[in-house]
Amino acid sequence: MKGPIGIFDSGYGGLTILHGIRQLLPEYDYLYLGDNARAPYGARSFDVVYEFTRQAVRYLFDRGCKLVILGCNTASAKALRTIQQHDLPQWDAQLRVLGVIRPTAEIIGNLTQTRHVGVLATEGTIKSQSYNLEIQKLWPDVQVSGVACPFWVPLVEYHEADSPGADYFVKKRIDQLMRLDPQIDAIILGCTHYPLLMPKILKYVPRGVRIVPQGEYVANSLQNYLLRHPEMEQRCSRGGTARYMTTENPETFREQAQLFLHEAVEVENIVLG
């Protein structure tokens, strides 16, 4: 039985991941789930993020998905490994869950000349050290510095990304990161909301510093994964559709989805837990 590819995020940022994937792989069916009622996950404990993510992944599998992508850096940092190692063997050894941190870590060594890399992300992702660990495994010579940006997600979700007030918060965190390591020449946007702040980010990064959003790299990684695992590719349905579910008010989700996707969507309200 074939099924859609599931995309999960605590909020709306994962829509940037879905958008990147659909640009590259439009032929597949997708099912997006946003746990908007319990967002943000960024400052929550490991145990809480794991339990919430586990519930969402299980729900997507119950809706027919064979492969789920955690389009959320916090969930990827705090829950992915436990779900892969503990839950999947109990549920179904043929099901798969992938994250968004490793695809960016895999490519970053090719994008830095100085071998000094920065990460801008939520508090939870920075505290987890997940980017540092993944990059060090793949590129031992690359030095990683990270800064948490607690106000960046609200700026996006409250439609303030283009406001003059956003300049202060964006500049403050970029300056903080560059003070930590002035040799940084590539910065990973380790939260899926942050690409919507790109005009402000580009305004304040020093010349010659490359900005690395995730959508393109996650999409390329998924394409490579499906090529390397034809047995999973065969289990993914191909109808070119995208469906959306939220644990919050569907009308609010529709408004936010318009911001991220630039298209109108229909959304179903669901309950997790």
Burial 148-170 (b: 16+ CB within 10 A, else e): bbeebbebbbeeebeeeebeebb
List beta partners, residue 267. 244
For β-strands 116-121 and 210-212, DSSP reports them as unpaired
Q: How many CB atoms lie within 10 A of CB 228?
A: 9
Annotated catalytic residue within 65, 149, 191, 236 = 191
Q: Is 236 a catalytic residue?
A: no
* 8 Å CB contact between 136 and 142: yes
Annotated catalytic residue within 65, 72, 149, 236 = 72
| Residue 232: exposure state from Cβ atoms within 10 A (0-12, 13-18, ≥19) | middle
How far, in whole angstroms, is CA 52 from its chain's centroid? 16
Residue where the block lists tokens 């043929």:
94
Q: Is 65 a catalytic residue?
A: no
Catalytic residue numbers, as ranges: 72, 191
